Copies of this chain bind each other. A is one copy, B any other.
Amino acid sequence: MAKLAGVSISTASKALNGRDEVAPATRTRVLNAAARLSFRPNALARGLISGRTRTIGLLTDELGGRFSIPVLLGVENALANEQMSVLLCDARGDAIRRRHYIGTLLSRQVDGFIVLGDDNDLRPSLTGEIPVPVVYVYGESEDPDDLSVLADDEGGARLAVEHLVSLGRRRIGHITGPQTYRAARDRVTGTRAVLAEHGLTMAGGGPLHGQWTQRWGRHAARVLLATAPEVDAIFCGNDQIATGVADTLTDLRKRIPDDVAIVGYDNWEEFAADCRPPLTTVDLDLEDLGAAAARLLFDALDGRPAAGVVRHPCRLVVRESTAPVTP
């Protein structure tokens, strides 16, 4: 087929895999060659012969959750690049449904599993029920012998607070979500660590824990300004809270970022980019996280399994809600 298209085997493979580095005209040529040769092996029969179906089971707990989707996209894309397919099962947080789905996926002889958490808390291991390689992504397996690929939330918070300190902010408050969430706790840990490294204490005496909503952000900002009127920066546990904080600061005629700088978390475009003013925030790079999990599953399928926790770095996205302290 590569010969018919007049390209190298590697180019043909890249074109079929939809890689960006192949020119559109070349891809068209390769695809046309593939079509003329009816290049469509019977994957089902092939699976029976080789013992491999080139199919991965993706087991999610709550696909409706906003964080699952970019991770899923990253997994799907990485699998497609390896000519593998993904069978999708959403257990909706139901243990019985999950067990049933595991059985279904095994009966379809998937080569491996990716288990996608709906939050980043610890979760019971499923590996005992699954005789093929498993990688956990976003949510961590309780079993340290499993492999879990997680966002580095403590590191993300460090990026945010380092940024504020580097801008000359010294009275930094923290408004975040419920303490029951590991994401909230890890971000508090990172925040405290950076403040301590610079000999600073948290404005208001400690983090304000509430809901992951604008409503909580609006309320908590009033509380923080009452207890720590000198606050010059607020690091928020997500972009919705940050949006609510910005609303209250605007209501109280505080200038953002001149009087108070704000950093959000998540880089949820619809909130962060459209906030008044647009938010500096932390991006979890979730699509990359999903791709990383898929690659680690490939390693396991190739006989190189790993164990433990891999923390995937976050990155800071700077917008107008932060700027240096004006003298």
Chain A positions within 8 Å of B, measured between CB atoms, are 15-16, 18, 24, 27-28, 31, 34-35, 39-45, 47-48, 53, 55, 58, 63-64, 69-70, 72-73, 76-77, 80, 83, 85-90, 92, 94, 96-97, 99-101, 103-109, 213-215, 218, 240, 244, 247, 270-271, 274, 276
Contact of A40 among B39, B106, B240 (CB under 8 A): B106
- For A55, what are the chain B residues with a Cβ–Cβ distance below 8 Å? 87, 108
In the bound complex, how far is the Cα of B87 from the Cα of A93, in angstroms? Answer: 21
The verdict on A18 contacting B86 (CB below 8 Å), with A76-B63, A106-B40, A274-B214 known, is no
The verdict on A18 contacting B274 (CB below 8 Å), with A85-B89, A86-B88, A109-B44 known, is no
A106: nearest chain-B partner, CB-CB: B40
In the bound complex, how far is the Cα of B69 from the Cα of A70, in angstroms? Answer: 11
Q: How many copies does the complex hold?
A: 2
Q: Is the CB of B89 within 8 A of A87?
A: no
Sort A-B residue pairs by CB-CB distance and give the 8 closest, nearest first.
A18-B97, A43-B107, A214-B274, A88-B88, A40-B107, A43-B108, A27-B96, A86-B88
Q: Is the CB of B72 within 8 A of A31?
A: no
Taking A44-B109, A76-B88, A240-B270 as given, write out 20 further A-B residue pairs in contact, using a Cβ cutoff of 8 Å, ordered by the A residue number. Answer: A16-B100, A31-B96, A31-B99, A35-B99, A35-B103, A39-B103, A42-B109, A43-B104, A63-B73, A64-B69, A73-B90, A76-B89, A80-B101, A83-B104, A86-B88, A88-B88, A213-B270, A215-B274, A247-B276, A270-B271
Q: Is the CB of A28 within 8 A of B85?
A: no
Q: Is the CB of A90 within 8 A of B76?
A: yes
SS of A interface (majority): helix
Q: Is the CB of A63 within 8 A of B72?
A: yes
In the bound complex, how far is the Cα of B177 from the Cα of A8, in angstroms? Answer: 46
Contact of A31 among B27, B100, B244 (CB under 8 A): B100
Contact of A103 among B15, B40, B53, B271 (CB under 8 A): B40
Contact of A41 among B53, B96, B107 (CB under 8 A): B107
Contact of A64 among B15, B40, B70, B276 (CB under 8 A): B70
In the bound complex, how far is the Cα of B257 from the Cα of A99, in angstroms? Answer: 49
In the bound complex, how far is the Cα of B80 from the Cα of A100, in angstroms? Answer: 10
- For A105, what are the chain B residues with a Cβ–Cβ distance below 8 Å? 85
In the bound complex, how far is the Cα of B102 from the Cα of A39, in angstroms? Answer: 12
- For A247, what are the chain B residues with a Cβ–Cβ distance below 8 Å? 276
Q: List 16 A-B contacts (CB under 8 A).
A: A24-B96, A27-B96, A31-B96, A43-B107, A44-B107, A55-B87, A63-B73, A64-B69, A64-B73, A73-B90, A77-B92, A85-B88, A85-B104, A85-B108, A88-B88, A247-B276
Contact of A89 among B43, B70, B80 (CB under 8 A): B80
- For A18, what are the chain B residues with a Cβ–Cβ distance below 8 Å? 94, 96-97, 100
